[in-house]
A and B are shown apart, each in its own frame.
Chain A
């Protein structure tokens, strides 16, 4: 989750995510939207976003195409959904073991 949060701190990176949210866009077209930013800097932003799981990257010949990966932004909720699934299974096992122990104490 840290990578996601760090990725979106930078305003240019948020602009990139907005730009390629609706449709796949080439690196060149993305760079053209930022005339005041050097091409290597744009490439760096794309790399950070891709590594954080926020951008989907596809190669087509020598071109690289990018699209916002919506599921990369569901991490906080997804993390805790899975967390509760796991924890509640352990709760069930532990509470049932505790109940058996109490019943045995009472009966014995």
Chain B
């Protein structure tokens, strides 16, 4: 439903490390906690848990990312759902997905990260989109 979704966040970065090395930073808790989260419980296979504890906003306590691995294809691709049990983040568990694609570039790796399914980014120029977005915001607060 395009009127309810923001455009995906798309990021690309080149890393001077082999794809095998980079891949482990998404699937090994000891490595994931070096860059993404402060704690992690990972079962890197389709349907396996991808739970991460994030630092969160100051004075708010930690944010609990309750995700699930959807695709795990080392060292090329990993996809997991991205959502938080804290309703104030506004992205519920299962609501969005993060797709990571690794491709070799020389001795290094090009990382393409696509984050889809976040709530709408801006107000649509008609009342329908506006209402849907506000309802989604409200749903995120009340959990309904």
A interface residues, Cβ below 8 angstroms from B: 1-2, 4-6, 8-9, 14, 17-18, 21, 68, 70, 73-78, 80-81, 84-85, 87-92, 94-96, 98-99, 102
Interface size of B by CB at 8 A reads 41
Contacting pair B16 A77 (CB below 8 A): no
Contacting pair A98 B90 (CB below 8 A): no
Known: A9-B141, A21-B130. A74 touches B15 (CB 8 A): no
Decide if B72 is an interface residue (CB 8 Å cutoff).
Answer: no
Contacting pair B36 A87 (CB below 8 A): yes
Chain B residues touching A, majority SS:
mixed
Bound-state CA distance A96–B15 (Å) is 7
Bound-state CA distance A1–B2 (Å) is 22
What are the 3 closest A-B residue pairs judged by CB atoms, nearest first?
Answer: A99-B17, A2-B88, A77-B6
Contacting pair A18 B127 (CB below 8 A): yes
Contact of A6 among B31, B34, B121, B141 (CB under 8 A): B141
Contacting pair B9 A77 (CB below 8 A): yes
Bound-state CA distance A96–B13 (Å) is 12
Nearest-CB residue, chain B, relative to A71: B122
Bound-state CA distance A9–B123 (Å) is 17
Contacting pair B18 A99 (CB below 8 A): yes
Instruction: List A contacts of B9 (CB < 8 A).
Output: 77, 80-81, 84
| A17 CB to nearest chain B CB (Å) | 8
Known: A5-B88, A70-B122, A84-B11. A91 touches B6 (CB 8 A): no
Contacting pair A98 B31 (CB below 8 A): yes
Contacting pair B115 A1 (CB below 8 A): no
